[in-house]
Every structure is written in structure tokens, then in C-alpha cells.
Amino acid sequence: MSCTAPPSATPQSVQKQQDTAPVVRDAAELPPLTSEEAELARGLRTDVAKLSQEFGERNSGSIWTLAAVADYLNERLSSEGFAVRRLGYEHEYKAYQNLEFDVPGGRWGDRCVLVGAHYDTAAGSPGADDNASGVAAVLALAKHFRGQRRRRTIRFVLFANEEPPFFQTPQMGSVVYVKQAVAAGDQIDAMVSIDSVGYFSSKEGSQKYPAALDGVYPNAGNFVAVVGRSDGIDLVEKARAGFAAKASIPVISGALPQTMKGVGWSDHWAFWQHGIPAILVTDTAVLRNPHYHRSTDKVEHLDFQSMARAVVGLQGLVAALAGPPSKVTAE
């Protein structure tokens, strides 16, 4: 998640999906992890450690490491049976790759729900939360949906170059990707950006907000946020409901002005520029995590039990957007 954005704006009103802020419980009050969640937590820790510890900083300033991560992700996904398309592009004599792969859909298989995360990091950061956590979540979701046939195709994309100096420029990986997808006539019904989903705190005051939202939402950072822009309230609500139906961790949501601090700070922004409905699922990054974009964004600061609960919620969210199980010919 990038920290570069247009100036904040105070909205005339804030559209949110709850009449009152939900009760956010201490982690000790949550139900015990299910066996699925416990297994997920172990796998998520392994994947985040692989990216943030073994590879570490990965961006245009460490181009060979960035390329090695792309190779690793391609090999990992290919070994799991996915046909990965390596979509390369160049800038200033350096090569970058977006990685794309599908779980084919049924009745509406020519349309897709796109689930994405960026695999690069900010300069000087190993990027455990931002954004090894998002990549690990995508890997876990791909494994979960593999072999299913939902009504729509589920397309997964791992993006390069979300972080500065490329953020919201023509060289941002998701900007390059969506421009190509639109030119090719791809039908993307919704995009879900997963960015920073591993840092949680039950401490009062651990969660910060833009000034316009002070007092509207909980002040402890032990929830997941689903964020969209003001004209996307239907998508935000559908996504929130899908997440809440399956998750054992609280979720809040908001359809907010695009210019508000943090609302457009990830790859979903690129899709908005082409009129494609898109949302961000996040732990709110800089508004919660003191290690954001720092050398201390390490695996030991993340809460993998809460992250596993969040990934189970994401399973419900993606299923809600992709539609029920579907046959190719009829339902």
C-alpha cells in the first residue's frame, strides 16, 4: 500500500454500511480457531516469512530480487496446477511482470471477479504486512477455490510496482494491467485489492482514521476494513456481507470519497480510472501499523491467527461476488 495520495477531502456525508459501529472484541473473546483456520495460519506465516525474510526488500531498486520473487511465485503456482500468464513490461531498461491466472467460471465464465495484490515493497522495507500478507492471502484463496466452478471466473493477479516511485503513474503494475485488459475486451465485473491484512491490535487507540471519520468507527485495530468509493456502495455492501457471513473476525465497511486519505491507496485505484467497480480489503496499514513502510515491517509483528480468520472471510467475500457454484451449460 502506498502512502502517496491526493489531498484529503472532508465529505459532506459518510456512507457506511452499519447504523452503529460494530462491537470489536478482544482476540481472547473470539471463538477458538477452527482446524481450517489453524492450518491457514501456519501456511500464511510460512508464505509471509518466505517473501519478507528470504527475499526481503523487492522493488525497482532491488530489481533482481523483484524478478526472483516473480519467478518463485510463477513456479509455486504452476506446481499447484495453475496456468500462469507472465505479463511483462519495461520501463527505463528494467523489466517488470504482472502474474495472472484463472479459476474458470461456469454460466458467466466470460466475465470475471479479479482478486489482486502487489508483491513489491516500499524502499528499505521487507514488507511483511505491506504486502507479503496480501500475496499470501491470494495464494491461500487460489488454493481454496481451485477446482471450484463459480458462476463467474475468478481471476487472480499479482502486481508489480504499486509502491513509490510508481504509485498512481503509468508504470504502476495495476495501471499497466487494467489498460491492457480493457483494450483486450476483458469483462471485469468487480476487482478486490488485498493490501496489508496481517496487523491487528486490541489496544484502545490503536486505530486511527482521517479526521472526517473520527468517532464513526472503532478505535481498536482488531477488525478488517472493506473500503470503496462513494458511488460503489452496492459492491461494498455485498462484499462486506459475504465476508461477515463466513468470518470469525469483525469487519467494517465504508463507501467513501475517493479523495479521502487512504481510500485510493492501492491497486483498486487503477480500476476506478476505467470505470470498473473495485474495493480495498485491508487492516488499514499506516492508520494502524507503526511499522508501515519501515525496516521493521517484519513477520514477528503480524497476527497470523487473525489473518487466517480474515482469509476465511475473504473466501466468503469472493464467493459472494463470483456467484454460486455453476455448471457450464445450465443451472
Residue 254, beta-bridge partner list: 16, 227
pLDDT at 146: 97
In degrees rounded to 5, what are phi and psi of residue 147?
90, -15
Q: What structural domains and CATH numbers belong to the chain? A: 15-22+30-322 (3.40.630.10)
Q: ∠ CA(101), CA(161), CA(229), 5° rounding?
A: 80
pLDDT at 330: 38
Count of H helices and E strands in the chain? Answer: 7, 9
pLDDT at 26: 55
Q: Name the residue with cell 533482481.
A: 64
Sign of CA dihedral 188, 192, 195, 198: negative
Enumerate residues 6+ apart whose C-beta is below 8 A from 64: none
pLDDT at 28: 55
Q: What is the pTM of this model?
A: 0.92
| Residues 73/157, Cβ–Cβ less than 8 Å | no
pLDDT at 254: 96
pLDDT at 128: 98
Enumerate residues 6+ apart whose C-beta is below 8 A from 300: none
- Strand 251-256 versus strand 108-118 pairing type: unpaired
pLDDT at 27: 53
Summarised one tens digit per residue, pLDDT across range 82-111 is 999 999 999 999 999 999 999 999 999 999
Residues of the chain with pLDDT under 50: 3-24, 329-331
Cell of 21: 459501529
In angstroms, what CA-CA distances link 51 with 44, 68, 133, 283?
11, 10, 9, 19
